[in-house]
Amino acid sequence: MRIVVLAGGIGGARFLTGVRAHAREVGAEVTAVVNVGDDIRLHGLQICPDLDSVMYTLGGGADPERGWGRVGETWTVKEELAAYGAEPTWFGLGDRDLATHLVRTTMLNAGYPLSAVTEALCARWQPGVRLLPATDDRLETHVVVERDGEQQAIHFQEWWIRHRAQVPTRRFVFVGAESAKPAAGVLDALSVADVVLVAPSNPVVSIAPILAVPGIREALAGGRAPVVGVSPIIGTSPVRGMADRCLEVLDVECSAEGVGGLYGARSGGGILDGWLVDPVDAHTRVPDVTVRPAPLWMTDEAATVAMVRAALELA
């Protein structure tokens, strides 16, 4: 059995720990197609927050409290940069984390595609699933905000971390998406997949940028594999993070029904055949999509594995 998972950072990483545990039991192969819209170049270094969240989490090196970055992290370089007044000061670059960005940037500068660089980094972390960036090309999420009566585009990280999404916001733009190609291996993985799972990741800034890469949405729509999504929203709560702010910008209700409707039915030009929602959302209706309830709190690995099993049963 071959499972492909579309994933963002923290939500995607947690979900993948469950997918991996299940896959080990049944002997399945897992490929994660990970968002790169959050990627940013700072101080000359290419930083891939979602790929790293997944790699560190599955590799046992993530900070469980923060949810992102490395466990046992120190911040000497960040403090030194701040002492120089080197902008941006709002982005958390840990010392241990920096080694990853140094290796990655050196390889990218030498001409290796991000997919090959990711594979090389994973040789250390052994995440137990194949990690692929959605694209090897530059694709960055930018956010059009209003400032001094004017519209201005800022990088997603500036909007998310510096402004905590608390600025008047018009829309999201996936810069570079039109000319991006799926990364090496992505379309092959989708074409041989038995099932595609959409992780409970941020639908607007984690999953949408993956689907914005021409060819990926088409591969899902025309593929033989059923596509089952897992709701990142429980009741009216985004559980963790600011998905509610993102959905508000799109004028989509922050609910399992809102997000399910945003993804839409595969038969109607969307991506879903099935939509897993929490029991509190059992009333959810998405036209032409089979909705099923299962507890969706990823409190520990056992709970997450149960979620994954429910998603696969639905598929």
Residue ranges binding ligand GDP (CB under 6 A): 7-12, 50, 53, 200-202, 206, 231-234, 238-241, 243, 296-298
Name residue, tokens 């507890």: 295
User: Which one of Ca ion, ligand GDP, none interacts with residue 241, CB within 5 to 8 A by kind?
Assistant: ligand GDP
User: Which one of Ca ion, ligand GDP, none interacts with residue 11, CB within 5 to 8 A by kind?
Assistant: ligand GDP
User: Which one of ligand GDP, Ca ion, none interacts with residue 10, CB within 5 to 8 A by kind?
Assistant: ligand GDP
* Apex 227 CA angle, 181 and 200, nearest 5: 85
- Determine the Cα–Cα distance for residues 88 and 235; give it in Å rounded to an integer: 36
User: Residues 6 or more apart from 248 whose CB is under 8 A from it?
Assistant: 254
Under rule CB under 5 A, residue 140 binds Ca ion: no
Binding mask 37-66 for Ca ion (x = CB under 5 A): -x-----------x----------------
Distances (CA, A) of 281 to 27, 271, 285: 32, 20, 9
Residue nearest Ca ion, CB atom distance: 9
Q: Which of 4, 7, 9, 304 binds Ca ion (CB under 5 A)?
A: 9
Under rule CB under 5 A, residue 176 binds Ca ion: no
Q: Which is nearer to ligand GDP, 54 or 81 (CB)?
A: 54
- Determine the Cα–Cα distance for residues 111 and 136; give it in Å rounded to an integer: 11
- Determine the Cα–Cα distance for residues 255 and 248; give it in Å rounded to an integer: 11
Minimum Å gap between C-beta 45 and Ca ion is 17
Tally of CB atoms within 10 A around 145: 20
The two three-digit tokens of residue 314, written as one number: 């639905």
Q: Which of 4, 5, 6, 8 binds Ca ion (CB under 5 A)?
A: 8
- Determine the Cα–Cα distance for residues 89 and 219; give it in Å rounded to an integer: 40
Minimum Å gap between C-beta 21 and ligand GDP is 16
Binding positions for Ca ion, rule: CB under 5 A: 8-9, 38, 50
